[in-house]
Amino acid sequence: MKNWLIQHVRVLLFTLRRLRTAPLSSLLNILVIGIALSLPAGLYVLLHNIQSMAEQAASTPQISVFLSMDASADDIARIGKQLNQHQAIGRIEFVPRDRALVQLEQTTGLADVIGGLTQNPLPDAYLVYPKKPDAKALEALRDELQKWPKLEYVQLDSAWVHKLEALLKFGRLAALILAVLLSFALVTVTFNTIRLQILTRRDEIEVSRLIGATDSFIRRPFLHFGLLQGLLGGVTAWLIIAVSLLLLNSSLDGLTQLYASSFTLRPPAMGDSLTLLLFSACLGWLGAWLSVAQHLSQIEPR
């Protein structure tokens, strides 16, 4: 075991020296891998942040129940009692039409327009907070309330979240397709890089075989090179995503202040970061293995 570790450490140090001997080409290859990986990974991180924002906004889903304009005080009291007794409803809040008009005036800045109205066009309403935030349960409750008499309109205020979730599913599928396509491209990049290394070291490989070197011994430095190149590409991708989120957050602060809210794009979590690095390293190793398997068998001692 100790000898095995020593051999791999020596090969790793040799691989690092080879990276330093051609710094420009190595840097370009790493940048290509990093930029390509940052596209699907960055899209995944952005979608994850948007989903977190949606969950935060929809943490307390509610249903707005608007009463008919001709609803009397007895109708309002009766509906309120029925809502309180409903098993699927946690609590309710009554919003009289006068208070709704004042809130509309304060939030929209249309004081002049509202002041010119001869009568209040808004109905009385109840804000209903269900016990379960499940989408199907909310929709079922909305449909049930819509059939009650003296109710003009029932609105599920968190319905936009479900539409956003559908868009997020589409975005995650697009990110997956992009990741698969770019993975093939990155394997090809590593494949060609290792192929050129094998061709330039052809004489060295022939001599190594003449003195009894095994294929695994000859193959090892190329595999380490591909793995290390992929790993450094993954680190580059992570740095690109982190810097991009930092720049976006600087612009996002001004936007969120306009809406009196606070939201910050978060960098990839530890698990996602390790997955990105492991995935990039595996891609580099796979490209190197395919290249070595194809080209090393074509080199025989003369």
Residue 6 pLDDT class (50, 70, 90 cuts): low
pLDDT 10s digits, 43-83: 888 888 877 776 665 556 788 888 888 888 888 899 889 98
Q: 264-289 in b/e burial notation, b at 16+ Cβ within 10 A?
A: ebebbeeebbeebbebbbbbbbbbbb
β 151-156/125-130 pair status: unpaired
pLDDT 10s digits, 94-138: 888 778 767 666 666 555 556 656 667 778 888 888 877 666 777
Residue 13 pLDDT class (50, 70, 90 cuts): low
The predicted model gives 134-148 an average pLDDT of 82
Q: Which two tokens stand for residue 176?
A: 């997956």
Nearest residue to 277 via CA among 243, 250, 239: 239
Alpha helices in the chain (DSSP H): 2-21, 23-57, 73-85, 97-108, 111-115, 135-146, 159-200, 202-210, 215-258, 270-295
Environment class of residue 85 by beta-carbon count within 10 Å: exposed (0-12), middle (13-18) or buried (19+)? Answer: exposed
Contact 147, 69 (CB under 8 A): no
Q: Which domains can be identified in the chain, with CATH numbers?
A: 2-57+162-298 (no CATH), 63-157 (3.30.70.3040)
- 133 or 8, higher pLDDT: 133
Q: Which two tokens stand for residue 227?
A: 């793995």
pLDDT 10s digits, 181-211: 988 988 988 888 888 877 777 777 777 677 7
